[in-house]
Structure 1
């Protein structure tokens, strides 16, 4: 059985594009780069359903242009990720004073999660705090994210214009086990912001309140001095709908 690519779907919905619009953007990105492709709504459907586990290079490059994310962060199969790292030699990134990188363990057997309870799909307000050693102060990051659930997996992507810092998309890839949520986060900072477009990622663990409308816990990541940083993180349900009208309503910076 194939596993749906909820990450790619969440990213597309965060960009507020239909499958047709997403395919058109991929074709146009290929044309601009001089590498035309034949992306179609049907191809996007195959990617999102898991029917096609990894895109060919001509599509991978266009996907990165359209989403602003490396293709290995878009929910495609692990072999394709390894191939990309091997081909272009890029597997790391610079460390600064913002929380960064906690890689997952390769080859370790995955624990069997308990059955998922309820459905947490919808629009959530994500809020986290971090200390910037370079600025000597604590800052708050806020995003409206569209969260999708498939079985025990939760995938979230910030809406296109829905962060306190413009052009700073956030992606969450989480696993639900009872009332515990564990996984990773990735944020691409704004190119004209303090962190100059650096991509940061780390680990995250949250506890779901009995109401199912709030998750609260901690993030963890490394700083530039190779120390482990941590801080609070909260997800609060704003609307259980993922309709276009709802996404449009929350496609704005949080107050």
Structure 2
């Protein structure tokens, strides 16, 4: 995963172009202390833009742990919250995790990268990288149906 450090401070001050509605690939890294390993969570998500607000919702079938985000755009900085309901049958047994997120929008408007912060199951606060990469501008049912599968 590319680092958000690839984005310059100058680009963070510019207004990012265009609309962000569409299908995006969401990926974030986290450490599972109980398993002693790092993992990457991936979801295809639908992003809907309403002015400076973005609502993000995972596409069913792209992951067994539904994800939502509520974000606000200020220039090329995107700030908000995330929530993930882990899979009932998975390692975290249906636990609901949530936290804050801040992303820098690439000057092309087709990539957002930054950091998440959230609590862990051992009463600790965790952080890690998070990235959204644009896939398709359409949000029609036919387009979304193409992404009802786990990302590769």
Shorter-chain TM-score bucket reads 0.7 to 0.9
CA positional deviation for 1:211 = 0.5
Offset at 1:204?
0.3
Kindly report which structure 2 residues correspond to 1:132-147, keeping only aligned pairs within 5 A, or say none. 132-147=32-47
1:116 to partner: Cα distance:
7.6
C-alpha distance 146-237 of structure 1, shift in aligned 2 (>3 A):
same
Alignment of 1:73-152 (within 5 A): 117-152=17-52
2:16 touches 2:108 (CA, 8 Å); kept in 1? no
Q: Which has the larger radius of gyration?
A: 1
Query: Deviation digits for residues 6-39 of structure 1, max 9, x if unmatched?
Result: xxxxxxxxxxxxxxxxxxxxxxxxxxxxxxxxxx
Once the 2 structures are TM-superposed, how far is the Cα of residue 226 of structure 1 from its aligned partner? 3.1
**Paired residue secondary structure (1:231):** strand
Paired with 2:83 and 2:121, the residues of 1 have a C-alpha distance of 17
Aligned with 1:219: secondary structure?
strand
Runs of 4+ that moved beyond 4 A: none
Higher strand share: 2
Q: What is the Cα deviation at residue 229 of structure 1?
A: 1.0
Partner Cα distance (1:175, 1:152) in 2: 6
Q: Which residue of 2 aligns with 1:242?
A: 139
The gaps in structure 2 that reach 5 residues or longer are 1-14
Say which SS state the counterpart of residue 59 (structure 2) adopts. strand
Query: Given the two structures, how large is their TM-score scaled by the length of structure 1?
Result: 0.53
Measure the CA separation in 1 of the matches of 2:120 and 2:66: 20
SS in 2 for 1:224: coil
Q: Tell me, in whole angstroms, the C-alpha distance in 2 between the residues paired with 1:190 and 1:227.
A: 21
Shift of 1:118: 1.9
How far, CA to CA, are the matches of 1:223 and 1:213 in structure 2? Answer: 30
Q: Distance in 1 between matches of 2:37 and 2:70?
A: 28
Kept in 1: contact 2:85–2:95 (CA 8 A): yes
Query: Which of 61, 67, 71 in structure 2 is aligned with 1:170?
Result: 67
* SS in structure 1 of the partner of residue 142 of structure 2: helix
Task: Report the 3-state secondary structure (helix = DSSP H, G, I; strand = E; otherwise coil) of the residue aligned with 1:162.
Answer: coil
Higher helix proportion: 1
Where structure 1 has 5 or more consecutive residues not aligned to the other structure, the ranges are 1-114
Which TM-score applies when normalising by structure 2? 0.87
- Residue of 211, 226, 250 corresponding to 2:123: 226
| Aligned equivalents of 1:142, 1:240: Cα separation in 2 | 19
Which protein, 1 or 2, shows the higher relative CO under an 8 Å CA cutoff with sep ≥ 6?
2
Q: For the Cα contact (< 8 Å) 1:174–1:182, is it kept in 2? A: yes
